[in-house]
Every structure is written in C-alpha cells, then in structure tokens.
Copies of this chain bind each other. A is one copy, B any other.
C-alpha cells in the first residue's frame, strides 16, 4: 500500500463547486477552453491554486487530459471531471422533511433536479398536510418516513423543520438509513456514525458577514488595502 492516498483537501472541495458554477454558463455559450488564470480571476483565486485543485480531479482518470499547455482546459471535459468528483454526475435522491416556508422555497426552486439532487419524497409532521399535493409530490406523514426512504432509495435528507423537532427527525432519518443530512435548523444535530451533516444557518452566515464588515471598516480607517 502506498504511504497514504491523501484525501482531497477541504478547501479544494469547496472551490470545486465554485468552478462548476463558472464553467457551466461558458459551456452554454459554446466556449471551448478556459485557462486556469481566467477561471481564477473570476473567483479571486490564483492560477496556481486553480491548477493544483484541478490536478486533484484530473489525475484520477489518467487518460482524461482536459488541460493542455498553451491552450487551457477543455471546458466540457473539465466540467465532467469535476462533476464526477463532486458527485453530481449521478443522482442523489433526497427527502424533504418539513413543508414550511423553507421547504416550499426549496420545492419552488427547480434547480436541484438539474443539479443532481431531485426531491423524491416530501414529509411533514402536520397531519393536515399529509396527502396534499405540492410540486407534483404527495406529502407523506412522518409515519411513512422509513418506508418511503427505503423504497425511493433516498440517500440525502433535507431537514427543514422547526428547531424543536430537528433532533428527533434527524434521528429518524439516521435510523432509516440515510447517508447525509442538509440541516436548516439553527442548531447542531447529533447523528449516527457514518452520516454526514451540512448545516445551512442564516444567523451564522450573518455573523460571518458582520465580522467581515467590521474588519473591512477597520482597515478602511487604518488605510490598509484589503482585498
């Protein structure tokens, strides 16, 4: 066994999604190639960084020579390779739990299906919601959770319930064999071993923003040139 197979660095993984966002419209426009410099400039990232990142996704398939010296990267090949690593080359069935405002906003945004994350099951704790049809799907009662997840081969749960029930639902999802949870509840949830969690927390995002603004204000005062 070679020393260790070095996993993809977290910062790289985060940038890969950004790269996809930039490449997609270029492909739609018919652009053939894109240089690391050009891609980096759009995102405020150095060209060397972009090349290092891409090395992670291109090295896997050695025949895939998306990058050519003096030319740049083939947009389509690069896009495909990144998608393979990100996982959006295949479909991840998702189950939406909670059809409040957040849930409805997610259903209203059709982009997920296109991005590889179709919502195939909708559940809600409110008995009055059960049976209602929203966006082509019938809302299931919570009692149907386990079976629905199994039969639809759902791998990702989208947790859009109030804070008070978030942990209980998360546990149910884990017990039903989910592999990942996208958590909109403004709290840390505890999950079974092997289950991944990504949080979307508006308050935390606002706090991050307020720190950035404070720093930006401070350096404006002291005259330091912030990027």
Contacts and interface: CB of A to CB of B under 8 A. Distances in A.
B43 A210 contact: no
A20 B208 CA distance: 12
Contact of A112 (B94, B197, B206): B206
Interface string A201-227: 011111111111111110010000010
Contact of A106 (B14, B88, B200, B202): B202
Q: How large is the interface on A (under 10, 10 to 19, 20 to 34, 35 or more residues)?
A: 35 or more
B180 A213 contact: yes
A48 interface: no
Contact of A87 (B21, B207, B226): B207
Q: Copy number in this complex?
A: 2
Secondary structure dominating the interface of A: helix
A198 B215 contact: no
A38 interface: no
A194 B220 contact: yes
Contacts of A23: none
Nearest to A225: B193
Contacts of A17: 203-204, 207-208
Given A86-B207, A86-B211, A202 B217 contact: no
A25 to B, nearest CB: 9
Nearest to A198: B209
Contacts of A86: 207, 210-211
A129 interface: no
A210 B108 contact: no
A138 to B, nearest CB: 20
A150 interface: no
Contact of A21 (B16, B20, B43, B187): B187
Contacts of A71: none
A112 B203 contact: yes
Contacts of A20: 207
Closest 6 CB pairs of A and B: A101-B105, A87-B210, A196-B212, A198-B209, A180-B213, A17-B204
